[in-house]
Structure 1
Amino acid sequence: MSDDALSGSKAPTARNFFSALQLDTRLLGMIGAFVVLCLVFNVFTDGRFLTPRNVFNLTIQTVSVAIMATGMVFIIVTRHIDLSVGSLLATVAAVMAVAQTDFLPNALGLELGHPMLWILSIVAGMVVGVIIGAFQGWMVGYLGIPAFIVTLGGLLVWRNAAWFITDGQTIGPLDETFTKIGGIGGTLGETWSWIFGVLAVAAAFALQFMSRKRKSSHGFPIKPLWAELTISGLIAASILGFVATLNAYDIPAARLKRIFAAAGETMPEGLTMGYGIPYSVLLLIAVAVAMTIVAQRTRLGRYIFATGGNPDAAELSGINTRFLTVKVFALMGGLCALAGAVAAARLGFSTNDIGTLDELRVIAAAVIGGTALSGGVGTIYGAILGALIMQSLQSGMAMVGVDAPLQNIVVGIVLVFAVFVDILYRKRTGD
């Protein structure tokens, strides 16, 4: 039986086009809102908002919040909240900074530039983040203290713990290799970015093909072939367009000369090179893929969404919901450590105010991305898109010249409006 026969497809018309694509209406709405937001800011900034330089800066500024937002999805899905993520980020960033500038050089003789220095410092930060997260999860799951109270206390405790770790000082400069994961200091370059883009397109096509084949083999309805090809084309255009935009942001000539000089070479006259994809974006992609697999393909993910949907039924079915809470908060702690590494690397220092108000941005990103505060519903890609919308909104307002207090007012209004729209959407769809 042919694919078209299995899907009951018809020739695409204006009426059945979008229904045949079977796209998530919420996702379409978010993408539409993001596109409109970008176009409006581009008009008000005289075309500066959508320049390759600003798109590049926007991506590296979004990464740390987006990484934490993927973990916040699991937290909120299980009907909890974590107000401590910004303070926890500051603590683990302080641990990593002190480890590579003081502890590891003195204890193990690893000076700045040693290939193991940045690795061990990140491992130290990850261990601390997971332990703190697990400890908070233990208080929530086993002691029965509401997550709001536990993490509100953590917001105060860990921010000031970071201050004691650094003695209130700005710690740096950090290891040069470590700072490459922050963004502008470490990128793939044009050639490797194109290679990555092509491989990403091929992987997306392969996943789409395998999904279609699996549905067909089990007798499930599948999309018309033209719909699959349309979606494939949109995916390919999005990925390659993103790569082309980042490659179009040229490295300044003075910096390019220093790069060639450091390699003992002379820069050819008139040479230009683009930055390409930042390492921090690659890290975010890896986290997004891993978290999506956990959510959709593992027992842990099934338990998380089952518990969020109905905690009592989940516990009666044999799920250890208390230990699950510990796991979810420990995972959140590990993601805070990764985000802290990116944030500190981007600055080149660990400062006392790093991660300030990130807890609000992370929660807002998850909620705007469609994670229901009532639990049981949420997506990783939605949270990342929510983080991008939040950062675009703030960056756009800053470029237009909106004062910081008014920026926070607008963000607060957008957050409340997003929750209101979510409530209306769920009532309409019956979710």
Structure 2
Amino acid sequence: MRSSGSEAAPAPTGPVQDARSLADRLREIEFDPRMIGMVAALAVIWLGFDWLSEGAFLTPRNLWNLLVQTASVAIMACGMVLVIVTRNIDLSVGSMLGFVGMVVGLVQVRLLPGIWGFEHPLTWLVSLLVAMGLGGFVGLLQGALIAYLAIPSFIVTLGGLLVWRGAAWWVTQGQTIAPMDSRFRPLGGGVDGAIGTSASWAIGIALCAVICAGAVLIRRRRKRFGFGLRPLWAEIAIAGLACAAVLAMVMVANAYTLPASIARRLIEAKGGTWPEGGIAIGHGLAVPVLMALAVGAAITFIANRLRFGRYVFAIGGNPEAAQLSGVNTRKVLMLVFGLMGVLVGISACISTARLNAATNSAGTLDELYVIAAAVIGGTSLAGGVGTIAGAMLGALVMQSLQSGMVLIGVDAPLQNIVVGIVLVVAVWLDGVYRKRLS
């Protein structure tokens, strides 16, 4: 006997039902599956390189240096997310970093010493402000050409890639400027750029408190306005994982101990006595890592909580609709590139301080790593979609690849090949993911 058309179809069973329930659960907790994929990829990369390097990769020393090396790219990747979200691109960030770094070197070595001498307490601060101001000016200039003259961002920033790299050489005719101010060098990490174990634990605990308080406040706000809520177990799990990541980072930083000679000098400088068997003193968190975390938090706040951030994503989603809604799209676009320039200035200070010298080759190929970090982190080249946390995690993935290949002795040309392949695959996966959602 044939069933009637109005009869309900039997509920799906087996793998289809399981797959649907998993997808529904991910949507329920508002968690991006690509973030899970990145974490899994990072775990595979770390374990793989640790095996290939016979245990040399997953050591406190290498992981501490890895985080320091990631800081500069991660900061620029935060700005690149906003640029790409608006359906644009910035190919000039590496050359801008080299140019700004050379100017910072000149300010410290030739300009400021003539005003107030060497090793002045304000030299590092003035240098940082000059870098941010110069980077912001260059970014605004390029943004104005893109927004008001309607020149494609690819062309403007490709020209900037050539112009600012040439300017980096022209500023000092190719000469390296060194050394940097002693108060400026901690911005690059190293022994002087670590805050110690006690301060690191204090910051780690404070960050965990902020994460938990933020989760509670966001949940209350969503409930007040009638928005959907995650299950309570999901809120607790996400906050717990974030706190675990923070505390793990602090533990790794504190496990990387100072060399015995430096530790002894520090103990004796404080009037203590060096014990016969020695003592282990941890580095703690590095200054550039803290700067990267601060920038990431600030840009996340701008993107998610301020009107400017909403305008940026509205432009990326539909530029015509945003303009008809009253958004000054040209001004917003110019400011996005200006913000990108400010972040390049901060990264230039970190790179220059880390090298203790300003070189015209600084930042070479950084544009590749920054764009790759943003795309791997889930920023869509079609615009309108992107997260700051994803971009910073993408920067860690890219730097892990580079650091691991250096550790096992892979030649530089092959490293570039691998990075290029990863970038292409990331863009392909982004296209596949968006098609499945549509």
Length-normalised TM-score, structure 1: 0.93
The match for 1:68 among 73, 76, 83 is 76
Aligned partners of 2:239 and 2:431: how far apart in 1?
A: 32
Please tell me whether the aligned partners of residues 294 and 300 of structure 1 are also in contact (alpha carbons under 8 angstroms): yes
Q: Do structure 1's residue 170 and structure 2's residue 176 form an aligned pair? A: yes
Q: Do structure 1's residue 238 and structure 2's residue 245 form an aligned pair? A: yes
Paired position in structure 2 for 1:198: 205
Please tell me whether the aligned partners of residues 367 and 373 of structure 1 are also in contact (alpha carbons under 8 angstroms): yes
Paired position in structure 2 for 1:127: 133
Paired position in structure 1 for 2:146: 140
Report the Cα offset of residue 223 of structure 1: 2.8
The match for 1:343 among 334, 348, 351 is 351
Matches within 5 A, 1:23-422: 23-106=31-114, 108-111=115-118, 113-184=119-190, 185-263=192-270, 266-269=273-276, 270-422=278-430
Could you say what secondary structure the match of 1:326 adopts? helix
In structure 1, the gaps of 5 or more residues are 1-12
RMSD over aligned Cα, in angstroms?
A: 1.7
Report the Cα offset of residue 268 of structure 1: 3.7
Report the Cα offset of residue 81 of structure 1: 0.9
Report the Cα offset of residue 228 of structure 1: 2.5
Report the Cα offset of residue 265 of structure 1: 5.0
Please tell me whether the aligned partners of residues 143 and 337 of structure 2 are also in contact (alpha carbons under 8 angstroms): yes
Please tell me whether the aligned partners of residues 365 and 387 of structure 1 are also in contact (alpha carbons under 8 angstroms): yes
Amino acid at match of 1:56: W
Task: Evaluate the alpha carbon distance shift between residue 119 and residue 247 of structure 1 in structure 2; reply closer, same or farther with a 3 A threshold.
Answer: same
Amino acid at match of 1:228: E
Please tell me whether the aligned partners of residues 99 and 360 of structure 2 are also in contact (alpha carbons under 8 angstroms): no
Aligned partners of 1:21 and 1:304: how far apart in 2?
A: 25
Q: Higher mean Cα deviation, 182-191 or 280-289? A: 182-191
Could you say what secondary structure the match of 2:55 adopts? coil
What whole-Å deviation, never above 9, does each CA across 1:239-295 have from its counterpart, x for those lacking one? 111110110000010122233455565434422110010011110011001100110
Task: Evaluate the alpha carbon distance shift between residue 264 and residue 347 of structure 1 in structure 2; reply closer, same or farther with a 3 A threshold.
Answer: farther
Q: Higher mean Cα deviation, 226-235 or 293-302? A: 226-235
Aligned partners of 1:301 and 1:135: how far apart in 2?
A: 21
Could you say what secondary structure the match of 1:394 adopts? helix
Could you say what secondary structure the match of 1:397 adopts? helix
Could you say what secondary structure the match of 1:319 adopts? coil
Report the Cα offset of residue 218 of structure 1: 2.9
Could you say what secondary structure the match of 1:177 adopts? coil
Please tell me whether the aligned partners of residues 369 and 386 of structure 1 are also in contact (alpha carbons under 8 angstroms): yes
Report the Cα offset of residue 425 of structure 1: 0.6
What whole-Å deviation, never above 9, does each CA across 1:287-335 have from its counterpart, x for those lacking one? 0011001100111101111011111111111111111121011111111
Could you say what secondary structure the match of 2:198 adopts? helix
Could you say what secondary structure the match of 2:410 adopts? coil
Report the Cα offset of residue 22 of structure 1: 4.0
Amino acid at match of 1:97: G
Larger radius of gyration: 2
Report the Cα offset of residue 179 of structure 1: 0.6
Please tell me whether the aligned partners of residues 96 and 121 of structure 1 are also in contact (alpha carbons under 8 angstroms): yes
**Across the two proteins, how many residue pairs are aligned to each other?**
416
Amino acid at match of 2:212: F
Aligned partners of 1:416 and 1:72: how far apart in 2?
A: 17
Could you say what secondary structure the match of 1:176 adopts? coil
Please tell me whether the aligned partners of residues 197 and 240 of structure 1 are also in contact (alpha carbons under 8 angstroms): yes
Could you say what secondary structure the match of 1:186 adopts? coil
Report the Cα offset of residue 50 of structure 1: 0.9
Report the Cα offset of residue 339 of structure 1: 0.3
Task: Evaluate the alpha carbon distance shift between residue 18 and residue 401 of structure 1 in structure 2; reply closer, same or farther with a 3 A threshold.
Answer: farther
Could you say what secondary structure the match of 1:220 adopts? coil
Amino acid at match of 2:165: R
Length-normalised TM-score, structure 2: 0.92
Amino acid at match of 1:202: A
Paired position in structure 2 for 1:3: none
Paired position in structure 1 for 2:437: 429
Report the Cα offset of residue 205 of structure 1: 0.3
Please tell me whether the aligned partners of residues 110 and 117 of structure 1 are also in contact (alpha carbons under 8 angstroms): no
Could you say what secondary structure the match of 1:171 adopts? coil
Q: Higher mean Cα deviation, 256-265 or 219-228? A: 256-265
In structure 2, the gaps of 5 or more residues are 1-17
Task: Evaluate the alpha carbon distance shift between residue 265 and residue 162 of structure 1 in structure 2; reply closer, same or farther with a 3 A threshold.
Answer: farther
What whole-Å deviation, never above 9, does each CA across 1:393-419 have from its counterpart, x for those lacking one? 111111122111111111111110111
